[in-house]
C-alpha cells in the first residue's frame, strides 16, 4: 500500500482530518513558509495524534544538532531535509536523530537541468527515502506545480535502485493516479493539492486525494 504523507499541518483540526482520512504521516514545516508552524503548537498537535501516525519535521539547512534537539523535544518520528544538505552531512544527521526516518528531498529541476548525473552510490549509505519534488532555491516546496514527469523517469529509477522513492510536487486527486502508474513510488507527499489556502486543508480535496491513491493497485 502506498505511503501517504499530508504535509504543511498547522492545526489540530487539520491533523485529525488527515488521520481520519487515512494518512500514514503528517508533515510539520519548521522553515520559512506560509505553512510554518510554531514549535509549541506542533508539540500540542503531535501529543494528540495516534502513535501509529508518523510525525515528520521538515527542515531547510538546519544544523544536525538543532534538528536532533527538535526531534527529541517534539517526539518526531522522522525528519525531512528540504535544503542543500550534502551527502557528507547525512552521517551527522543520522547521529543526531538516531533511528528516526530520514527523508532527503531532491528538486527534480536541479537534476534535470544539469549535466551532473545522480548515481545510486550517491545515496548509499544515506537517507531512508528520497522525496523527488518540484521547487527552486526561492521556494523549496509547496509550489503546486508538477515537475516534468517524463524527463524525470530515469532519475526516479536511479533513486529507486538505492532507496524508497516518494513523489511530490503539484499532486492532487486528479493527477496522482497517473503519477503512481508512471513512477510506482513507495510513497506520495501532498500539500497544496489538499488545501483551500496555504496552511488550511480542504476536507473534500484531502479525502478525494487519499481515495485516489488507495484506488490504485498495490505496488
CATH number for position 111: 3.20.20.70
pLDDT value of position 219 = 63
Instruction: List the one residue out of 80, 77, 70 whose CA is nearest residue 102.
Output: 80
Q: Could you please report the per-residue DSSP string of 67-136?
A: HHHHHHHHT-SEEEE-S---GGGHHHHHHHHTTSEEEEEEEHHHHHTSSPPP-GGGGSS--SEEEEE---
pLDDT value of position 179 = 97
Catalytic residue among 14, 24, 133, 189, which?
A: 133
Instruction: List the one residue out of 165, 164, 162, 81 whose CA is nearest residue 125.
Output: 162
pLDDT means per 10 residues, the chain with 219 residues, are 97 98 98 95 98 97 97 98 89 96 90 59 79 73 79 91 94 97 97 95 98 86
Catalytic residue among 7, 14, 24, 189, which?
A: 7
Task: Give how many domains the chain has, as a whole number.
Answer: 1
Return all residues near 219 (Cβ < 8 A) that are at least 6 apart. 1, 2, 184, 185, 186
The rounded distance, in Å, linking the Cα atoms of 39 and 124 is 32
Residue 37 domain-assigned (yes or no): yes
Residue 56 domain-assigned (yes or no): yes
Residue 194 domain-assigned (yes or no): yes
Residue 8 domain-assigned (yes or no): yes
Q: Domain span at residue 151?
A: 3-214
pTM to 2 decimal places: 0.92
Residue 190 domain-assigned (yes or no): yes
Residue 219 domain-assigned (yes or no): no
The answer to whether 72 and 95 are in contact (CB under 8 A) is no
The rounded distance, in Å, linking the Cα atoms of 185 and 182 is 9
Is 133 marked active-site?
A: yes
Is 14 marked active-site?
A: no
Alpha-carbon distance values, 146 to 42, 89, 90, 91, 93 (Å)? 28, 28, 27, 30, 29
The answer to whether 13 and 41 are in contact (CB under 8 A) is no
pLDDT value of position 115 = 40
Residue 131 domain-assigned (yes or no): yes
Amino acid at each position: 500500500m502506498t505511503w501517504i504523507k499530508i504535509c504543511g499541518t498547522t492545526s489540530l483540526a487539520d491533523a485529525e482530518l488527515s488521520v481520519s482520512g487515512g494518512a500514514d504521516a503528517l508533515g510539520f514545516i519548521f522553515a520559512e513558509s506560509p505553512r510554518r508552524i510554531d514549535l509549541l503548537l506542533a508539540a500540542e498537535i503531535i501529543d494528540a495524534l495516534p502513535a501509529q501516525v508518523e510525525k515528520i519535521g521538515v527542515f531547510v539547512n538546519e544544523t544536525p544538532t538543532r534538528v536532533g534537539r527538535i526531534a527529541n523535544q517534539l517526539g518526531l518520528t522522522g525528519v525531512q531535509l528540504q535544503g542543500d544538505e550534502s551527502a557528507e552531512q547525512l552521517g551527522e544527521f543520522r547521529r543526531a536523530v538516531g533511528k528516526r526516518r530520514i527523508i532527503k528531498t531532491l528538486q527534480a529541476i536541479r537534476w534535470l537541468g544539469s549535466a551532473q548525473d545522480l548515481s545510486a552510490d550517491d545515496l548509499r549509505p544515506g537517507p531512508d527515502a528520497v522525496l523527488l519534488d518540484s521547487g527552486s532555491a526561492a521556494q523549496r516546496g509547496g509550489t503546486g506545480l508538477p515537475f516534468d514527469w517524463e524527463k524525470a523517469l530515469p532519475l526516479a529509477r536511479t533513486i529507486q535502485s538505492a532507496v524508497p522513492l516518494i513523489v511530490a510536487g503539484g499532486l492532487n486527486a486528479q493527477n496522482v493516479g497517473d503519477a503512481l502508474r508512471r513512477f510506482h513510488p513507495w510513497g506520495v507527499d501532498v500539500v497544496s493539492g489538499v488545501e483551500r489556502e496555504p496552511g488550511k486543508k480542504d476536507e473534500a480535496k484531502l479525502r478525494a486525494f487519499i481515495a485516489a491513491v488507495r484506488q490504485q493497485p498495490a505496488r
